[in-house]
Amino acid sequence: MLRQFSSEGVHIAFIDVPPAGRDRGEPILLIHGFASNHRINWVNPRWVETLTRAGRRVVAFDNRGHGASQKLYAPRDYRTELMAGDAANLLACLEIERADVMGYSMGARIASFLALAKPHLMRSLIVGGLGDRLVHGAGLPEGIAEAMEAPSLDNLSDPTQRMFRAFADQTKSDRAALAACIRGSRQTLAPAAVGGIAAPTLIAVGTRDVVAGDPHKLAAMMPHAEALDIPARDHNLAVGDRIYKEGVLAFLERRGRIGVKPRVE
């Protein structure tokens, strides 16, 4: 059931799904990508089903400007630290002290900012659809904002612009809010900052993804990170891939041992 809470005055829609057949389970927070929403990114590709069957409590929300959450039209309202604040505020609202956090694309950037700002909240970090463009690129190309404002898809020729405009039309998104989001959420992290992310981290990117950047280069910047290649998948098709799901479940099972040095007798 879709619920709502106020994140410092911004209305955010979310779901909180218990593990299958259990009363309690370790929580995982899911943060979707640009022009998507919790249903498109996590419910329809059966992530929620996969994780709850594995005994996890799944919390997922619609980012501000997306889905059933409040629409804002000033770019300053979409700074990445504010969107990371929505995630932290949701965990506080649900009285969740620590969670695994998985984001995809823009959601992965938000999750990375959360890992730096509130490390005590992070049991582990899963970065999907984002490699070293977290450091070397300010999110999606700014021309996507123009694509959101174009009269129609027919007015666009650039393949990336067309891909995201078609996706926004498919999800029936508020394109004016999305244009503001692109313009406002263009913050990067310096390599030194990324190196300060201490949580066990999995970075998963499709091998045909031309948007995300290199996951191995990003993993090399972090003390406790590993990369997962999602074979033959582009930025959109990687989201629900079986290899991605299996890799995440395996990572969640062993993440408590990542970065732990063997004991010397």
3-135+188-253 belongs to which CATH class? alpha beta
Q: Is the pTM of this model over 0.75?
A: yes
CB 15 within 8 A of CB 69: no
pLDDT tens digits, residue range 220-264? Answer: 999 999 999 999 999 999 999 999 999 999 999 998 776 544 344
CB 12 within 8 A of CB 56: no
CA dist 173 and 168 (Å) reads: 5
DSSP state of 121: G
pLDDT tens digits, residue range 133-182? Answer: 999 876 778 899 999 999 999 999 999 899 899 999 999 999 999 999 99
Strand partners for 206 = 230
- In the chain, where the domains are located: 3-135+188-253
The tokens describing 257, both together, are: 């041992």
